[in-house]
Amino acid sequence: MIAKLLRAGTIALVCLLFAAGGVHARDRKSADISADGLPPQALHTLELIRRNGPFPFDRDGIEFGNREHALPRMPRGYYREYTVKTPGVRGRGANRIVCGGEQSSARECYYSDDHYRTFRRIR
């Protein structure tokens, strides 16, 4: 009986910690990163954004929905996403830049190296 309660308590604790971790990740403010701190591939992607392409992937420039609210809330269609090539990875990989506002302005951009789980604002 005690073992069963301990096991149930452990499961409840794990669920609580998992849920708390999810809330923390969603509520966490984006850290900043300077352009100098970005990998060269991200700098290349920023330059493509400023020039309005041509982009290497069909999905570059599509609307980013911000469904997890990881970025500041803005009207639908405000954010667009772009692929940052990952050396040694075929396809799109996990690295992205998401920019808000006019496509060619690249004024408010965020970098994610973990497929949108975390973002750092590019300064």
Catalytic residue IDs:
81, 115
Question: How long is the chain?
Answer: 123
Please give the sequence-ordered ranges of beta strands (E in DSSP) within the chain, or none if there are none.
31-33, 62-63, 79-83, 96-100, 108-112, 120-122
Strands 120-122 and 31-33: parallel
Identify whether the C-beta of residue 45 lies closer than 8 Å to the C-beta of residue 83: yes
